[in-house]
Amino acid sequence: MDLLGRAGRWISAVVQEADEDGPPGRTEMLLRRMFWTLVLLATLVRGSNAIVYDVGLGHDSRSHGQYLTAVLHGERIRNRVEYCLPQSYLWTAIHGWAMWPVLHNDEPRLQHVALALGNLHLYGWMLLGLLALARTVGLSGSARAAFVALTVTSPVVQRSLDMLRPENLILAFFPWVLAGAFRIARQLPERLPDWRTATSFAALLALVFTEKIGGFSIVLALAAGLLFLGRVSLRRKFLALVLLGAATTAVATPLFVAHRVLVGRWFFQHPTFTDRRLGHAYDHRAPGSFYWPVRLRHIWEHPLREEQRGSMWGILLADLHGDYWQYGVQHKRFHITRANRLSRQHEGLVATAVFLALLVMSIILLSRRARAGPDTPTARAVLGQFFLQVGGALAYMALTCQIGFEPLTANLIKWEYVSWCIPITMLVIATATPRCRDGRSALPLLALIGGLSLFGLYQSLLIPQ
């Protein structure tokens, strides 16, 4: 009980310190420099990995490479990832066309350079979006820097941006979408969004969610968040939903139709599930035991690839700060002993445990603010979108395993498929983080965030084998 009392007093001290005004102290300035240094290091890791990682090392590398080749050369798209709309591949191809005069006779190198430049460009847009989102929700000082650092040092974000993946475009522009949604929500008690705001937001949202069917969970979460808004009449909520929905549909429909004409199949017609020529590996449904219970001891003892194929949560926990699928620092093509892989995965699981404890504490802090306090609207909006976006993304993966499930690997469960969960999760932690003026209460929390960010870089930097 004494320990719980101390923890309660410490949380109260952090909350009280967060509400105080005043100039930044020496500790606050030191923390800002530390977090921005971590962002700089993450950018250097991004550049280094772009040199090491090529198209052939990622998930479904052959199919994604064929899609990119078709776009680069203006050919008809015919492969098992053709259900994806071409925005992200077109983005990468644009960088390939820029290098065409130099590399047109070397297709593998052309794709490698196009992937590296395209993903670095996406990383830059993501950074700007994170800053825009932080400004929108009122983060400043070390909290803003911590938010950016936590996001860009996440092994999931770094590993995803190593690969040629359609979700990378969603990841890069999701912070912009969320910032726009928060701005509209802030203005809604007074007025409906004007046509320019609605059109620009709808265009960005359509660009993001049409890229892959999982992006629909983003739209549903934003719509649900709008309906749950406080201080807004039901009539105005309905009108805003109709206005934004109509604008988004007007932008998205031509994209879907054009894709159907070019490819010959709708975006929801995944060939893995509908084309029997690809075999019957996915003619299964995940059993109830795949979702529950969570067997922590089994995860610790068996954290390597395919050893958690019977547990959705086992895969997600082993992959969050590790490399369960072995497409990153423990790539299956790298010459790494089983003992070293096991040790690296155990380190990742410890980091995941610390991270989840930090996340739970942050949720508690924000919940206290949501009930009372000057930043109640911000706390409620961030918490609401966290539960809706992350819950929607996990539900999407769980539902996918009911449509088609491959029991030998359970390879439909990957963080890269829902990588946009990372920024909104880190926003919860950063929003709950106060500015540290005297170092008495907030410093341990911020130092912990710094340690997790540094570990994320350690789990992301690729060393050529």
Is 95 among the domain residues?
yes
Q: Looking at residues 123-132, what average pLDDT do you find?
A: 95
Whether residue 375 is predicted with pLDDT greater than 80 in this model: the reply is no
Whether residue 358 is predicted with pLDDT greater than 60 in this model: the reply is yes
Chain Cα centroid distance, residue 132? 16
Residues 414, 155 contacting (CB under 8 angstroms): no
Q: How many domains does the chain have?
A: 1
pLDDT at 129 (0 to 100): 95
Residues 151, 130 contacting (CB under 8 angstroms): yes
Whether residue 13 is predicted with pLDDT greater than 80 in this model: the reply is no
User: What is the band of 219 on the pLDDT scale with cuts at 50, 70, 90?
Assistant: very high
Is 1 among the domain residues?
no
Chain Cα centroid distance, residue 450? 19
Spatial separation of the C-alpha atoms in residues 321 and 351, rounded to whole Å:
6
Q: Looking at residues 6-17, what average pLDDT do you find?
A: 45
Whether residue 386 is predicted with pLDDT greater than 90 in this model: the reply is yes
pLDDT at 301 (0 to 100): 94
Is 465 among the domain residues?
no
Is 193 among the domain residues?
yes
pLDDT at 11 (0 to 100): 42
Closest CA to 110 of 138, 72, 78: 72
Is 63 among the domain residues?
yes
33-37: Cβ within 8 A, 24+ apart = 34/450, 35/142, 35/145, 35/146, 35/148, 35/149, 35/449, 35/450, 35/453, 36/145, 36/148, 36/149
Q: Name the one residue in this structure whose structure tokens are 């660009």.
A: 207
**Half-sphere exposure of residue 393: CA atoms within 13 angstroms, side-chain side:** 26
Whether residue 408 is predicted with pLDDT greater than 70 in this model: the reply is yes
pLDDT at 3 (0 to 100): 47
Higher pLDDT, 193 or 320: 320
Spatial separation of the C-alpha atoms in residues 87 and 161, rounded to whole Å:
16
As a three-state string, the secondary structure of the chain is CHHHHHHHHHHHHHHHHHCCCCCCCHHHHHHHHHHHHHHHHHHHHHHHHHHHCCHHHCCCHHHHHHHHHHHHHCCCCCCCCCCCCCHHHHHHHHHHHHCHHHHCCCHHHHHHHHHHHHHHHHHHHHHHHHHHHHHHCCCCHHHHHHHHHHHHCCHHHHHHCCCCCCHHHHHHHHHHHHHHHHHHHHHCCCCCCCHHHHHHHHHHHHHHHCCCHHHHHHHHHHHHHHHCCCCCCHHHHHHHHHHHHHHHHHHHHHHHHHHHHHHCCCCCCCHHHHCHHHCCCCCCCCCHHHCCCCCHHHHHHCCCCCCCCCCHHHHHHHHHCCCCCCCCCCCCCCCCCHHHHHHHHHHHHHHHHHHHHHHHHHHHHHHHHHHCCCCHHHHHHHHHHHHHHHHHHHHHHHHHHHHCCCCCCCCCCCHHHHCCHHHHHHHHHHHCCCCCCCCCCCHHHHHHHHHHHHHHHHCCCCCCC
Residues 224, 388 contacting (CB under 8 angstroms): yes
Is 463 among the domain residues?
no
Per the prediction, the chain carries an average pLDDT of 85
Is 3 among the domain residues?
no
pTM (two decimals): 0.89
Q: Model confidence over 31-86: pLDDT tens digits?
A: 888 899 999 999 999 999 999 998 888 888 888 888 888 888 887 777 667 777 88
Range of lowest pLDDT (213-217, 360-364, 410-414): 213-217
Is 427 among the domain residues?
yes
Domain residue limits at 213: 8-458
